[in-house]
Amino acid sequence: MAMLKGAIFVASIFCAYTAFAQTSQQLNYCKALTSTYRTAVGSGATPMQRLEAATVECATNPVGSIPVLERGLKEMKVELPPRA
């Protein structure tokens, strides 16, 4: 029984670490997409309202913001930054 409790504890720590790592990677990629978008707009590309909103939400919702930013940058014909 103690061995099972230990295995459950280790599994929960591993899952929490994995979730944090994914969130950190997603946040970094979202920030890179935001930077790419800002550079494109600074170079004369027309700002898009939905992309502006996605850049604001990036810090709190990278999972939802990433696809919006990727799609918008592709529409703008801007090269996406590499995923880490």
Residues 26, 62: contact at Cβ < 8 Å?
A: yes
**CA distance linking residue 62 with residue 28, whole number of Å:** 9
Residue 15 tokens, joined: 């899952």
Domain ranges of the chain: 26-75
Residue with structure tokens 């930077």?
A: 35
pTM for the whole structure: 0.73
pLDDT tens-place string over residues 49-84: 999 999 999 999 999 999 999 999 999 999 999 987
Residue 40, C-beta contacts closer than 8 angstroms, at least 6 positions apart: 73, 76, 78
